[in-house]
Amino acid sequence: MLANKTAVVTGSTSGIGLGCARAFAAQGANVVINGLGDADEIEQTRAAIEADFGVRCNYSPANMLHGEEIAGMISDAEKAFGSVDILVNNAGIQHVSPLDEFPIEKWDAIIAINLSSAFHAIRAALPGMKERGWGRVINTASAHALVASPYKAAYVAAKHGVAGLTKTVALEVAEQGITVNAICPGYVWTPLVEAQIPDTMKARNMTEEEVKKDVMLKAQPTKEFVTVDQVAGYAVFLCSDTASAITGSIMPIDGGWTAQ
Ligand code: NAD
């Protein structure tokens, strides 16, 4: 479905971003992965995408804290592959703290990585998409783009900001064949989440099932984690022709969390 398209996915060295990159590659797209991590592991991840799907995959080390590196990532992708047709703004970090103790540098980093990086990447990618009359921008937001939780001020503010950015850009390019949407996952089963389970079991004297249901999934009515593949499948759908009328949408995939 995506042969001859190029997808740039920020924050795709693990978790949801990597799932999206692999799902686009499975549809025939060339992909640019990006993110932090061990250089050898990143190279293995990159090479596996090429080997598994027979597409080309480049790695961009652009740090989502820096606008000029983000613009460079987009122009390098355009030079290497001829276009950036699909852009997934997915990189994100979290910090949990009461507001009056919230470290200022954490606030600045979360706003930069979770919100401003999407602005910089979209700004750089739009001219090419406009020229070709086709584009898909998908912002990985969160259920926290729609509802809040205490102690996550920067994350919730950034994700609500992503929702506003999504709607605004969607309106600006609505007649140019470009759709702009936000996917809003609830709790997704990523290695990051899985790694927290043993410590929580010990600290609370709970079974694995109790930790998942009564701690992590307290707010998620299905009491099931969303999977990376489900989020990636949603992103692939948004790139299809069937989804061309979906734009400016802030789309929950959250097991009913935001229905409450
Ligand atoms: P993850 O930690 O597995 O992935 C985050 C990615 O962002 C990694 O590739 C990391 O290297 C990259 N990254 C972090 N800082 C960066 C920087 N300065 N420059 C470049 N890359 C950077 O986490 P995930 O769970 O896959 O999260 C991906 C996105 O999904 C985030 O935006 C997150 O807020 C959102 N999300 C996750 C969940 C969940 O439950 N896992 C739920 C809702 C939304």
Its CATH architecture, for the domain 6-186+227-259, is 3-Layer(aba) Sandwich (3.40)
Tens digits of residue pLDDT in 25-75: 999 999 999 999 999 999 999 999 999 999 999 999 999 999 999 999 999
Residue 30 — φ and ψ, nearest 5°? -75, 145
Which secondary-structure segment (H or E) carries 140? strand 135-140
151 in active site: no
Tens digits of residue pLDDT in 130-165: 999 999 999 999 999 999 999 999 999 999 999 999
Mean pLDDT in residue range 169-179:
98
Domain ranges of the chain: 6-186+227-259
**Which of 188, 193, 254 is the best mutation target for the ligand 1 pocket, counting ligand atoms within 8 Å of the beta carbon and taking the most?**
188
- Tokens for 169? 């850009």
Whether ligand 1 lies within 6 angstroms of the CB of 37 is answered as yes
**Predicted TM-score of the model (pTM):** 0.97
Whether ligand 1 lies within 6 angstroms of the CB of 65 is answered as yes
- Residue 43's identity, in one-letter code, is E
Average pLDDT, the chain: 96
Quote helix, strand, coil % in the chain, to nearest 5: 50, 15, 35
- Residue 200's identity, in one-letter code, is T
Whether ligand 1 lies within 6 angstroms of the CB of 192 is answered as yes
d(CA 118, CA 112): 9
Q: Could you report how far apart the first and last alpha carbons of the chain are, in Å?
A: 36
Per-residue pLDDT band at 183 (split at 50, 70, 90)? very high
